[in-house]
Structure 1
Amino acid sequence: MFEEFPNNPNVAGENDPVPPAFLLRQVLFNISRGADVAEEPLQYLSRLNQFTTGLTFPLYGGSNQYNWTDTGNSYPWLRNIIQLEKNASDALGNDRNGYLTISKFLRAYTFVWLTQRVGDIPMKEAGLGLEILNPSFDSQEEIYKAVFDLLDEANNELTAIIADATSAPIEGDIFYNGDMRKWRKAVNSYKLRLLISLSKRADDTPSLAIKQKFNEILNNPSRFPVYENLDDNMNFVYIPVFNRYPTQFMLLYPNETTVSETVLELMTRNEDPRTFIAATPTPFAMHVEGRTIGDFAAYKGADNSKAQNDLFSESQGNEGKYSYINYIRYLQGPDVIPEPYIMIGYSEMCFNIAEAINRGWVSGDAENWYQKGVVASLDFYGLSQGATITVGDVNGAPYGDVTVDVNSFLSNVKYKGNNAEGLNQILEQKYVSFWQNSGWEPFYQFRRTGIPQFREGEGTNAERRIPRRWQYPVREVDNNRENATQAIQRQFGGNDNVFADMWLLK
């Protein structure tokens, strides 16, 4: 009687068809959260991007240390993508199937997410299950070549799907609600991100044709449409009650999170109105110096590289030296949503194009794209000339209102030309535009360019410096040891060292 178990009619079985919309929704949610520390605003990643600093650990302020070892793993995403492809093909066939097309973008995103963290990874033989239990490792050069092919295929297929009114709509799309025109722009804008991330290999890797591909996109807008405004952003949208803004614990302990000096110094130096949405004036400035809330000198960030005990002691009472996170905007409650979380955004794309022009990859008006990026970021945070912002203390008690002066700020950051100084401006303003969004992109930009200079020192880790990569996932090394060992030897001389540079950074 125990040889067979009856099927539960209320639960999907292993071989029962799951609608592709369910799988798509899950994969999109997974990539929005990342496969390691949560890719969300005001969490640990915010401190690693040097947007905020924690004053206490292990309480809710959190650690500021870069003391990681092995990375999280995005291959579980791939398993769901493969299942999505199977179920979508079974349900709708292979011709002009939007789920299959979006899965190509998702495959590209999955492999890039991991290779950016460790170096060479299995790609071509990954996800084949029992067919290949020990997949070989592809080089980063091979990975990016394959990724660009996937993105081009997705762009071409989206063109056909959009043109065919009989194409079946997709459901479960938490980013674009099935709008394939926006997906097409996202695919090409993401490709621009990847191309600029390879700037160190632009002159010595003809197989990738990095500059040529960038030119191809910019010079063929009908074939490669890209983002046109903020409405095209790939955003994760928070919803009151059901999908809350992730500060429900921080709001109980607002005096344990300050704004980082790395980002706040860039804001205050240029009299950037984003200062007022990010930070509070320091207690010392208000209670000892008697400064006004509109005085940019009243705002000072904390150094992420300092010992946490020192940061805590220097932040206490009316003589506290540091600006806290803006309680009124971010900490009033989990159902007060300040802004969505950008996955891939228009402002970033503008800066990427400006950087490419500045570097001489493409012709065009770098200043125009730079200005578009700055203005788009201001618009995203609701900042316009003459707008008013209520400024409060660490607990949200209002001090009063400040009037936003966008015009003066834009004058202060006027582009200085296609030279090193201009490039520095582009990278600094792109970093500020990443405030509480875009995953690891702020860190990856610092790692690639050194701009802005992240703080490193006693509070960073025992080495007093920021790692350049992660070690390979333990399960990958344990279960695919021969291939993993060869990859580590080939790239890093046999030492899976977090301070070593991978191919894309050399």
Structure 2
Amino acid sequence: MKKIFKFYSLLPLLLVITIAGCKKDFQDKTVNNNKPNAVPASLLLNGILTGKGLVEGPDGSKETNCQYYLNNYDYYGNNRYDFKYGDDYYTVLKNVVEMEKQAAKTGNAVNSYAALGKFFKAYLFTKMSMEMGDIPMTDALQGLTNLTPAYDTQKNVMLQSLALLESANTDLTALIAAKENILAGDIFFNGDLLKWQKVVNTFRIRLLIQLSKRADDDAQLNVKKQFSDIVSNPGKYPVMESAADNMQYNYLPTISTNYYPQNPDNFGQSGSRKNTSATYIGLLTKLKDPRVFVTAEPSRYLVDNLKQSPTDFSSFVGADAGEDLGVMYNNAGLQKYSFLNRKRYYSTYIGEPSIQIGYAELMFNLAEGVYRGWAAGNAENYYIAGIKSSMDSYKIPTGTGSFTAYFYRPGSKDVTLPANYDTYNINVNWDTYYNQPEVKYNTANGLTQIIQQKYLALFRHSGLESYFTYRRTLIPKFTVGPGTGNGGRIASRFQYHEYERTANAANYQIAIQSQYGGNDDINGIMFILK
């Protein structure tokens, strides 16, 4: 009996060992060695660069929010500032964290993917904060270990992001010097780390400009000194030197998912369902700016019915964003407004590159910082460089010369591929344009001039940047009315997502109470705007 008793006492241990051994043997035999069990950093990078957040193209609500291009048919949307939810880039940010983890397996703490990861975090976190205010950052991206992250104040988001950009610049300097610039999957710069370093510092200049309202009263943000440090030390902080350094997305003519948003396939459907805004067209015609001949078409009502010259600035008319949508639809049907230039935007599948962070914008941001006294320099030189870069992008001569304007003429039987164009030779003279009192830089009106030209240069580019600039400076004047809703106001922010109210309710309530008096108010004023 003794022996039997001892035998049974060993059974549980033997069963555990046997089951564990079987489990391990089963796992070993079911692993498919021909299938990767982790996504490489290069593939994650490619997905991040082509995904939501890093690429913002035209023809969406953000273009309407900037009062560039308006809806005149409610099936496609409206022009109201009754904002709902801001952008959610946390899924993209999770991929950034995973990219960093995979890159760290090489054994190098400082590597190209980690350096770009810091930039991506600064870029995406600040974009969300610019839309909504306080957001989870420090406690975010921790997976199941923290499903209810606390919100960082907007100030802390900015502080952390500026520090990330400084660190990214330092890492990139070291990697470039050591020639350890291994970066696969890079659709923007083909692994050129110096160009990425220029993007990092150019974006940092943008971010500092966005903080202009806190430049005088917040020593921790230290906006002026950071701006001056970058401008005065280009060796340490290289920035974009020309449009060749632009961070831009190039559309592909061979892959339908990468077509330019306006293209021959949707010309018949949407070519007249939207029209340009008076905010944009009115500024161009006021300045007698030749860019209007490239980006827009004259009102066919004025040209065909009233016999105005199609190359007369007065023939270009944008719709008032505040106009009732029914009235706008009726006027658009009568061809009283200027549509997008259909030769430029609808005749190919590649359109134009979509600039996310660009040289022209940098020039205007530098001009603004110098105008504000944040750094030594010549604001007018930066201002001129920004205008000329924008003109160059449209192939408009910035000396004395001419270019061809193409205006679509309705009546073509082929509504799928617009091909019925009239051509006009447009003569331009830079001195004549620039020496207009409204254009030629003068310090008394310098800020308005800089931001007006920046607004023109960002047409169809850089997401909400022109809306953010308007919200900060009220330049250029955005129009309101029945069509814009929200009680005749331009909304100041977007709301938090509905899931925050349920899944992270306690922290959500703390955030809206501390910022907006307990109401997730689209007209609430966030920290950077006070």
Identify the TM-score tier after normalising by the shorter chain: over 0.9
How many pairs were matched up?
489
Instruction: Give the match for residue 418 of structure 1.
Output: 443
1:194 equivalent in alignment to 2:221: no
What is the deviation of 1:464?
2.7
1:102-501 → structure 2 map (5 Å cutoff): 102-165=116-179, 167-242=180-255, 243-248=258-263, 250-253=266-269, 254-317=271-334, 320-333=335-348, 335=349, 337-384=350-397, 385-393=401-409, 397-407=420-430, 408-412=432-436, 413-419=438-444, 421-501=445-525
Q: What are structure 1's unaligned runs of at least 5 residues?
A: none
Matched position secondary structure for 2:58: coil
Partners of 1:462 and 1:131 lie apart in 2 by 40
What is the deviation of 1:476?
2.2
Partners of 1:402 and 1:174 lie apart in 2 by 37
Partners of 2:138 and 2:152 within 8 A in 1: yes
Change (3 A) 1:302 1:472: same
Code of the residue aligned with 2:42 in structure 1: it is A
What is the deviation of 1:66?
2.2
Matched position secondary structure for 1:57: coil
Partners of 2:66 and 2:427 lie apart in 1 by 26
What is the deviation of 1:31?
4.3
Q: Provide, for residues 315-365 of structure 1, a one-character-per-residue CA deviation record: whole Å limited to 9, x for no partner.
A: 234xx32111111110124x2x23200000000000001011111222211
Partners of 2:65 and 2:314 lie apart in 1 by 25
What is the deviation of 1:234?
0.4
Partners of 1:499 and 1:229 lie apart in 2 by 38
Q: Quick check: which has more Rg, 1 or 2?
A: 2
Code of the residue aligned with 2:392 in structure 1: it is D
Matched position secondary structure for 1:137: coil
What is the deviation of 1:391?
2.5
What is the deviation of 1:132?
2.6
Change (3 A) 1:17 1:453: same
Partners of 1:462 and 1:122 lie apart in 2 by 28
Change (3 A) 1:10 1:52: farther
Q: After superposing the two structures, state which structure 1 stretch, 50-59 or 399-408, moved more.
A: 399-408
Matched position secondary structure for 1:386: strand
Instruction: Give the match for residue 68 of structure 1.
Output: 83
Code of the residue aligned with 1:405 in structure 2: it is V
Partners of 2:30 and 2:72 lie apart in 1 by 53
Instruction: Give the match for residue 49 of structure 2.
Output: 28
Partners of 2:427 and 2:505 lie apart in 1 by 57
Partners of 1:351 and 1:430 within 8 A in 2: yes
Matched position secondary structure for 2:338: coil
TM-score (ref. length: structure 1):
0.92
CA RMSD of the aligned region, Å? 2.0
Change (3 A) 1:462 1:187: closer
Code of the residue aligned with 1:458 in structure 2: it is P
Partners of 2:80 and 2:486 within 8 A in 1: no
Partners of 1:392 and 1:346 lie apart in 2 by 31
| Identity across the alignment (%) | 35
What is the deviation of 1:423?
0.8
Partners of 1:98 and 1:276 lie apart in 2 by 43
Partners of 1:185 and 1:226 within 8 A in 2: yes
Change (3 A) 1:7 1:441: farther
Query: In structure 2, which of residues 93, 96, 101 is the aligned counterpart of residue 81 of structure 1?
Result: 96
